[in-house]
Amino acid sequence: MLRHFFKLIWNKKKANSLLMVEIWASFLVLFGVGSLIIYTIRNYIEPIGFEYENVWALTADQMNDTTEIVGKGQQAIARIRSYPEVLSVSNMSSNFPYSNSMMNNAYEYNKRKVQASTLITDENFGETLDIEMLEGKWFTAADSVGKYKPVVINHKMKEELFENESAVGKVISDKYKVTGVTGYFKEKGEFDKNKPILFEQVSGKFWNSVILMKVKPGTDAHFEAKLVKDVTSMLKDWTLEVDYLTDSRQNQHRITLVPVVIFLVVSLFLLVNVAFGLFGVLNLNIAKRKNEIGLRRALGATERNIALHFIAEMWVIATFSIVVGLLFAVQFPLLDVFGLPSGVYFLAILASIGIIYGIVTLCAWYPSAQASRINPATALHEE
Amino acid sequence: MFANYIKIAWKVLLRNPFYTFITLFGISLTLTVIMVLTSFIDHMIGSNYPEVNRSRSLYISFLARRDSVNTGMMRGPMTFQFLSDHVKTLKSAEKVSIFSFFSSSNAYAGSKKINLQIKYTDSEFWEIMKFDFLEGKPYSDAEIRGSQHVAVITHTLKQQYFQDKDEAAIGKTIEIEGIGYRVIGVVKGSPVTRIYTAADVYFPYTAPKSGYDQKGLNGRFVAVAMSADKQSLKAMNDEFQARISQIPPDVDGRKFTSLEVPSQTFTDIFLSTVSQMGPNGKTIFYAAVAFILLMILGLPAVNLVNVNVSRIFDRASEIAVRKAFGAPVNTLLWQFLVENIFITLIGSGIALLLTFGIISWVNASDWIAHLDLTVNLNVFLISMLVTLFFGLLSGVLPAYRMSRLKVTDALKA
C-alpha cells in the first residue's frame, strides 16, 4: 500500500517538484525559527537563582582621581549602609547581573578546563541577591588572609569541573580555593544560558566600581537623589550612575526577544502564505482528477478511501521534501556552527516535521473531502 | 482597447476571489518584508541624520595592542591627547572631531529619575554631524577653552527635565551629578542605534569628569575624520596608517609587540562587529543573510509560480473559447500580460501601505528612541519588478503556450 503511494508520486515527480521545493523550504524555515525559539525557551525555564526586585546598582567610577581610591570607595559604602532604607550592600566588579559588561576567564582543575564568567564580589553578594547555597558557605573577610584566594562557584561550574566530587576546599588553577557552591546563577537573567560562573573575592588593592544595594520596597527617586547627592559630596570628580536591576532586566529581555519576535512573525506569514498556496494547488489538482475519482468510486472505493488517498499522497510528497530538508538540517548539529546544544536542533527537527505534516494534512483535508463526495455518475458522465 | 483589458482583468480577479487573495497575499507580504528589512539596514548603515557625512568619513574607534605570544590583548578607545596628536593633525582631512563614546548618568527632576547618556565633544563635532538645532547653538572653541559649564541637550530631555515644556530651555540650568550646566542649545535627538552621535546631553570636552587630560594611549575618546569627498578617503586612510606604523607598541613601557588603530568607514565597522562573533563570523553572517533573503523571496515566489501554473488548466477552456471565436494570439497574450501587471500593482500598493503602517508604528513606539525609519523607493521598485518577473514567468508563459495549442485540443482540456 505504502509502496504504491510512493510509486504514484515518483511517477509524477516532475509535476510535484514545485510542491516539494515549497515544502522543503518551509521545513528549513521552520527548523531555523524552531531552533531559535526552543533555545530561548530552554534557557527561560531554568531559574535565574537570584532576586532582582528592589536592587539598585550604583556605578562609581574614579575617573582621574588617583589617591586612596579604595579607601574613599569603602567610606562611601559605609555611608550607604547607614541609611535605614538600605537593607544590604555589596561591592562588586562592573559586570553586575543584567548589565551589558562581561568578564571571562579560563579555570582548571585536574587538567579539566572550563571557561567561566568571573564576578568579583564581596562577602555580602549572596545576601544582597538572595542566592541559594548548595554546599559550603559564602567567603568572609577572614578567608582573604590565606595562601589561596577564596572563591564561590555556581552549580554548573561545579558540575563541569568536579562532576560528582564535592567542591568545597578544592583548589582551582593553583590559585583559588572553593568555599561554597551556589545553586543556579544566570548572570544575564532569564534568557541567559546556564553557564559556569565564578565569584572571586574583592581585593583591597583595586576599586571595583559597582555598589549593589537592596532597598526597602517602595523606596523612590527622592531617596535616590539624596543618596547620589551625599555620595557625590564624598567622591568628588567621580562619576556616579544608578541602575535599577528591573530596568536592566527589561533591557536584556528586549535584546533577546526582539529578534525572536521578528523571526516568528515573518516565518508565520511565510507559512500562512505557503498553506494558502498548497490549498489552492490541491484544490485545482483534485478538480483535474475528477474522472479518476469517479472511476474509483464506480469500482467500489468508499468516500473514506478517496479522501485518505489524497491526504496520503500529500504525506508522501511531504516525506520526500522532509528527507531532503533533513540532509540540510543535520549539518547544524554536526558542524556545530552556532554552538547550540544538539538537543535543541533535534527538538526543532521533530517540531518542524510535526508542523509540516499538520499543515499538509490541514490543506489537503477540505479538497480531499470535496473530492470524496464526487458522484461517480456525474464524473463519468462528463467524460 | 487598454481599458478593455483592465476590465477583463478585474472581472477575472473577482471571478475567483480565493486565488486572487492568495496571489495578493504573497506579493504584498514579500514586498512588505523586503522593504521593512531594507529600511532597517539603511537605518543602520546609511548616511542618515545626524551622521549625513558618513560616506566620506573615517571612524577611528579603538586602539588594539597584542603581545608576542598573542595571549594578552588590550583594546579600547583612546585618550584625547593621542587623538589630537595623530588624527587632528592629518593633512588630508577636511575636518576632524574628537569625542567620547556615551557614558551613563542620572538626573533628578523632583521625584522623577531620568537616565542619561552623556557625550563629551569638541566644536568640530557639530560641523561634521549635522544636528537640527531647535533652540540656541552649539558651544564654540572659546567656550571650550574657558572650561565653561555649558551643555547641549536633546528635545526629549528638555521635555523630561523642565516643568514648563513649551518655554525655551536656553539659559536654564540642568544639574547633573551635583554640577549645574547652562543649557545653550536644544537639538533633535539621534537614535541610540547611531552610537557615535546618540546621547541626551553633550558637554564640551573640557567639562568636569570628561577625562580629556588623561595621558598615555587608552582613554575614553574616539575620532571621526572627514575628507573633502569620497575619493580622498583612501589617501586619508593611508596617511593615518603611515603615522600609526611609526608609533612603537611599547611606547608607554608596557610589553606589547603590535599596535593597530584601524581607520574604517562606517560600513566596515558594522561588518567587523559581526565578524567578531567568531573566526568565520563574516561567512556565517553573509550565509545567514543570503539564506533568509532566499527564503523570504524564494518561498512566496515558488508559491506564486505553483498557484499560477496550476491555474492555467483552469483557464485553458477560456483561452480556447476565445480563440475559437477568432481572438489572435497577440490579444490573448496582452490580456494575460495586463492581468499580471494589474495584480502585481495592486499587491505592491497594498505592500506600500502596509510598509508605511509598520514603519510609522515602529517609529512611534518607544522601542528605540528617536527612530527614523523611512521607505526606500528604489528597493520598492526593484522588488516590484522581481515580483512582476515571477508573475510573468508563471502566468504569461504557460498562457502563451496554451494559446498556441490547436483550438480543438485546448477546448477538450
- Tell me the mean pLDDT in the region A140-144: 85
Question: A207 or A10: whose pLDDT is higher?
Answer: A207
Distance from the Cα of B39 to chain A's closest Cα (Å) equals 14
Q: Measure the CA–CA gap between B118 and B99, rounded to whole angstroms.
A: 11
| B254-298 pLDDT, tens digit each | 778 888 898 988 888 887 766 655 556 667 777 777 877 777 778
Strand A133-136, strand A149-154: pairing: unpaired
Kind plus residue range of the DSSP H or E element containing B176: strand B173-176
Strand B133-136, strand B221-226: pairing: unpaired
Distance from the Cα of A273 to chain B's closest Cα (Å) equals 6
CB A170 within 8 A of CB A112: no
- Tell me the mean pLDDT in the region B126-147: 93
Interface A–B counts its CB contacts (< 8 A) at 115
| A6-53 pLDDT, tens digit each | 777 777 777 788 889 889 999 999 998 999 999 999 999 999 999 999
- Tell me the mean pLDDT in the region B193-204: 92
Model confidence band, residue B102 (pLDDT cutoffs 50, 70, 90): confident
A18 touches B: beta carbon within 8 Å: yes
**Residue keyed to cell 547652562:** B182
| B163-185 pLDDT, tens digit each | 887 888 899 999 988 889 999 99
What single DSSP character describes residue B264?
B
Residue A370 C-alpha from the chain's centroid: 44
User: Quick check: A281 and B305 CB within 8 A?
Assistant: no
Q: Does A313 have pLDDT greater than 70?
A: yes
Give the three cell numbers for residue B163.
516643568
* Per-residue confidence (pLDDT) for residue B276, from 0 to 100: 59
Sign of torsion, CA A12 A368 B307 A378? positive
Sign of torsion, CA A257 A258 A264 A267? negative
Give the three cell numbers for residue B243.
603615522
User: Quick check: B115 and A224 CB within 8 A?
Assistant: no
Chain A residue numbers touching B213 (CB-CB < 8 A):
64
Q: If contacts are CB pairs under 8 Å, which of residues 234-253 in chain A contact chain B?
A: 237-243, 247
pTM for this entry: 0.81
| Contacts within 8 Å (CB) and 24+ apart, B313-318 | B313/A284, B313/A288, B313/B413, B314/A284, B314/A287, B314/B16, B315/B399, B315/B402, B316/B402, B316/B410, B316/B413, B317/B410, B317/B411, B317/B413
Say which of B18, B104, B115 has its CB closest to residue A280.
Answer: B18
| B324-379 pLDDT, tens digit each | 888 888 888 888 888 888 888 899 899 999 999 999 998 888 777 778 888 878 77
Looking at the DSSP bridge assignments, the partners of residue B108 are B113
Looking at chain A, which residue has its C-alpha nearest residue B117?
A241
* Per-residue confidence (pLDDT) for residue A382, from 0 to 100: 64
Q: Does B79 have pLDDT greater than 60?
A: yes
Of A258, A132, A106, A243, nearest to A186 by C-alpha is A132
CB A317 within 8 A of CB A9: yes
Of B409, B412, B344, B313, nearest to A280 by C-alpha is B313
Of A307, A109, A99, nearest to A192 by C-alpha is A99
Sign of torsion, CA B298 B300 B305 B310? positive
* Per-residue confidence (pLDDT) for residue A290, from 0 to 100: 80
Q: Which of B192, B280, B303 to mutate to test the interface with A (most CBs of A within 10 A)?
A: B303
Residues 6+ apart with CB under 8 A from A266: B33, B296
